[in-house]
Amino acid sequence: MGTGLDTTEPLAGRKIGVVAVQGAATPHLAMLRSVGATAWAVRVPADVDGVDGLVLPGGESTTISMMLERNDLWGPLGEAIADGVPTLATCAGMILLANEVVDGRPDQRSFGALDVTVRRNGYGRQVDSFEADLDVTGLGEPLRAVFIRAPVVERVGPDVEVLAEVDGGPVLCRQGPIVASAFHPELSDDTRVHELLSW
């Protein structure tokens, strides 16, 4: 588990852009900086220049979609993701990467870079938020995960590796340089999800 500014940290010195047009960018920035990464907020196209990695945080995917449009970020971010820049997408971020979104708003867009079908707010109103201890492939100790109006992953494509499940449903997936979680790994002091990427 990553704590402190140790240069043996996998994230130390990495230059990571955290998309910050709406939603939970601040805790991602704090967590990445706590393990020695150089992390900055991505708000305009020039902020994408020189990134070693990207984070698409949680928030409201419909609003993030609209703000990416307004800030001319769909192009530069889409190119970086298509070029294989390691990308961590959490909750709304996962929705923004999914190549199929159920219960989305008709005008919301997606990068289509992750071969999954997600249902927005799929866990339903009665369980808007919950926490679970996850057994994650490749990690030892269980990971405490916070879910907030999380998407349900209803289908995964053949190139998607499921790293953790809740009740048989995928909640943490990897497809090449992309790691996507239905939960909020930035809302704890456990940096292991961020470290799953080979930034």
Candidates 29-37, 91-99, 152-160, 172-180; binding stretch for ligand GLN (CB under 6 A)? 91-99
CB-CB contact of 180 with 167 (8 Å): no
Compare residues 146 and 162 and give the one whose CB is closer to ligand GLN. Answer: 146
Compare residues 17 and 185 and give the one whose CB is closer to ligand GLN. Answer: 185
The one catalytic residue in 9, 28, 91, 194 is: 91
For the CA atoms of the chain, what is the radius of gyration?
15
Compare residues 58 and 177 and give the one whose CB is closer to ligand GLN. Answer: 58
The one catalytic residue in 9, 173, 186, 194 is: 186
Candidates 54-62, 69-77, 80-88, 156-164; binding stretch for ligand GLN (CB under 6 A)? 54-62
String marking each residue 143-162 x if it binds ligand GLN according to CB under 6 A: -----xx-------------
> Helices 61-70 and 74-82: crossing angle, nearest 10°?
110
Applying CB under 6 A, what is the total number of residues that bind ligand GLN? Answer: 11
91 sits near ligand GLN (criterion: CB under 6 A): yes
Q: How big, in percent rounded to 5, are the helix, strand and coil portions of the chain?
A: 25, 30, 45
Which phi-psi region, left, alpha or beta, contains residue 4 (left: φ > 0; alpha: ψ -120 to 50)?
A: left
Identify the CA nearest to 56 among candidates 99, 29, 92: 92
Q: How far apart are CA 2 and CA 106, in angstroms?
A: 40
**What residues line the site for ligand GLN (CB under 6 A)?**
58-61, 91-92, 95, 120-121, 148-149
Active site residues: 91, 184, 186
